[in-house]
Amino acid sequence: MKTAIFAHRGSKSNRPENTLSAFEEAMHVGSDGIELDVHLTKDQEVVVMHDEKVNRTTNAKGQIKSFTVNDLKELDAGSWFSPQFRGERVPTLKEVLDLLSDFPGVLNVEFKTDHNVYPGIEEKVVRLIDLYRSNLPVVYSSFNHESLIRMKHIDPSADVALLLWERLADPWRYTEQVGASAQHLWEASALTETSAQLQEHGIKVRAWTVNKPKNMQRTFEMGIDAMITDYPEVALDLRKSFEEAKALRR
């Protein structure tokens, strides 16, 4: 089994995160998966951004939930990263789904419900995916595990993954209790014996955010199911070399 490469917030290292440019680049380099973060606007539109506030990644200030989608669309979500990306907009989830119409990989939607509640966000996301890309494999993750439990109530077949910083004791028990198929574990927690324990119990492990080549290599050696990285192109190149070296040893 090859370690899958998921592009974190798109190709975050060389494009403004969570924008259509970042997702285009992630697809262009051949990422196996794309991770993005979702919030709700004041008028209940699902939009893609990491922080609760627009301050860091746009030219304005304030909470996403206090902007209407039209107001949010006025903002520049690219200049903060580089003048080359001036005019890049904050995407709605629908726009991302349109962009991913031919994407053969997996979409990882992270519900950013750990600071703001966003009532109903889970249903809205499911409805959008059903409407615009119903055949797209989706993994739902969140640090707010209640969001994942809500997802399982909405759609018992939904693929959900616990986002965690820390390793748990008997980690498979809690994972099974929530109905999750995977743990998305902070890199330092994933690069331990916990990953093999989870995998022995049929639970997948995806490590985040793996950016150092040394740790990418370790992730391949350990047979971790996937890594979420800001550098998908680097990770894909390294994986190619790793797989070629492995084939030669056979």
Question: From ligand G3P, Mg ion, none, which one binds at residue 3 (CB under 5 to 8 Å depending on kind)?
Answer: none
Alpha helix ranges (H) inside 48-159: 69-73, 93-99, 121-132, 145-154
**Residues making contact with ligand G3P (CB under 6 A):** 8, 35, 37, 50, 110, 141, 163, 184, 208, 228
CB of 194 to ligand G3P, least distance (A): 17
Residues 6 or more apart whose Cβ sits within 8 Å of residue 220: 3, 238, 239, 242
Residue least distant from Mg ion (Cβ) = 110
Question: From Mg ion, ligand G3P, none, which one binds at residue 227 (CB under 5 to 8 Å depending on kind)?
Answer: none
Task: Considering only residues 95 through 114, tell me which ones interact with Mg ion, judged by CB under 5 A.
Answer: 110
Q: Are 2 and 31 in contact (CB under 8 A)?
A: no
Active-site option among 28, 50, 153, 184 = 50
Category of 49 on φ-ψ map: left (φ > 0), alpha (ψ -120 to 50) or beta? beta
Residue with token string 């902007």: 67
Instruction: Please confirm, yes or no, whether 153 is among the known catalytic residues.
Output: no
CB of 231 to ligand G3P, least distance (A): 14
Instruction: Please confirm, yes or no, whether 115 is among the known catalytic residues.
Output: no
Question: From ligand G3P, Mg ion, none, which one binds at residue 133 (CB under 5 to 8 Å depending on kind)?
Answer: none
Q: Which is nearer to Mg ion, 114 or 155 (CB)?
A: 114
Q: Are 226 and 247 in contact (CB under 8 A)?
A: no
Residues 6 or more apart whose Cβ sits within 8 Å of residue 45: 68, 69, 92
Write out the catalytic residue numbers: 8, 50
Judged by the rule CB under 5 A, the positions of this chain that interact with Mg ion are 37, 110
